[in-house]
Amino acid sequence: MRSKLPQFRQTMTGAAVVELRRRILSGAVVAGEALRQDALAKEFGISRIPIREAFHQLAAEGLVTLHAHRGAVVTALSALDIAELFDLRAMLEPDLIRRAVPRLTGSDFARAEALLADYAAAIAGRDLEAYGELNREYHLSLYRASGRSQTLELVRVLLANTDRYTRVQLAMSDGATTRAKREHAALLELCRAGDAEGAAKLTLDHVMAVRHDLLQLLHADEAKLAEPHAPAA
């Protein structure tokens, strides 16, 4: 049966990227699985060209790896990779929120509140796909006011790359979902209060807590290698 691409006002390549990203982040296709260009073109009812372009965009996001003979393969990340991604988020996101806080408007706060309500509903319904997407959009909705378009794009990619792992962490622990909701709400209150430094600190703590939880879920020996080390004297 032919699958319908999302009905968005965008190119066929853009629609293919959205659908393939959804499948990867939801776990419908797993790490190491090859994405077949011909089969997907037939399924979506489009030519191979937009599928090939979609593969390149997903590769740029780190969600697939392109091989000369196997084509596009869903990327598998090690504990070291996960640690690096979250370390990069920890470097960039506190700076974005610090810069954004003085520029946030009433409409920004209204948007963030609506996203938080939808996020809580998605968690209550155990809708992994929805709360992953809402988590990303909530953070981006606050960061956009920073005026740092290049950093924002880097963070958008990092959020996409860490999304499936964040979902694992949330799905395996009710405590993690409770903490996520509490910290998201607290972050919004700090932003409303104009406390840029407080918002930056909470953002850092929030990112590093998820990093820690994910590494704890992995094999102990591999996770130990990913833990930060003090610099040599």
- The structural domains of the chain, with segments of one domain joined by +, span 12-74, 79-224
pLDDT score at 219? 56
Domain 79-224 sits in CATH 1.20.810.10: no
Q: What is the reported pTM? A: 0.74
Alpha helices in 101-232 (DSSP H): 106-124, 128-143, 149-171, 174-192, 196-217, 220-226
Q: Point out which residues pair with 34 in neighbouring strands.
A: 73
Residue numbers of the chain with a pLDDT score lower than 50: 1, 6-9, 221, 232-233
Block residue for tokens 């037939």 = 42
Kindly state the tokens that stand for 19.
């659908």
Kindly state the tokens that stand for 74.
């869903």
Edge-to-edge strand ranges of the sheet holding 71-74: 34-35, 71-74, 64-67
Kindly state the tokens that stand for 210.
């998820």
Contact 152, 99 (CB under 8 A): no
The rounded distance, in Å, linking the Cα atoms of 218 and 53 is: 34
The 8 Å CB, 24+ separation contacts for 123-131 are: 123/170, 123/177, 123/180, 123/181, 126/171, 128/26, 128/27, 128/167, 128/170, 128/171, 129/22, 129/25, 129/26, 131/167, 131/170
pLDDT score at 163? 86
Q: Point out which residues pair with 64 in neighbouring strands.
A: 74
User: Mean pLDDT in the chain?
Assistant: 87
pLDDT score at 71? 87
pLDDT score at 221? 47
Q: Which fold has domain 12-74?
A: Arc Repressor Mutant, subunit A (1.10.10)
